[in-house]
Amino acid sequence: MENTDKNKIEQIVKTRKQAHSYFLKNSQVYRSFAEMEKNTYKDGALSKKQKELVAIGISVAINCESCMEWHICQAIGDGASEGEIIEAVEVGIEMSGGPGTVSARFAMNVLEYHKPLK
Task: Give the domain extent around 72.
Answer: 3-114
Per the structure, the count of domains in the chain is 1
- One pLDDT digit (tens) per residue for the chain, 118 residues: 778 889 999 999 999 999 999 999 999 999 999 999 999 999 999 999 999 999 999 999 999 999 999 999 999 999 999 999 999 999 999 999 888 888 899 999 999 999 876 5
Q: What one-character-per-residue DSSP string does 17-65 give?
A: HHHHHHHHHH-HHHHHHHHHHHHHTS-SSS-HHHHHHHHHHHHHHHT-H
Prediction pTM value: 0.88
**99 prior amide bond cis, ω within 30:** no
CATH code for the domain of 43: 1.20.1290.10
User: Which pLDDT does position 117 carry in this prediction?
Assistant: 65
Residue 108 DSSP SS3: helix
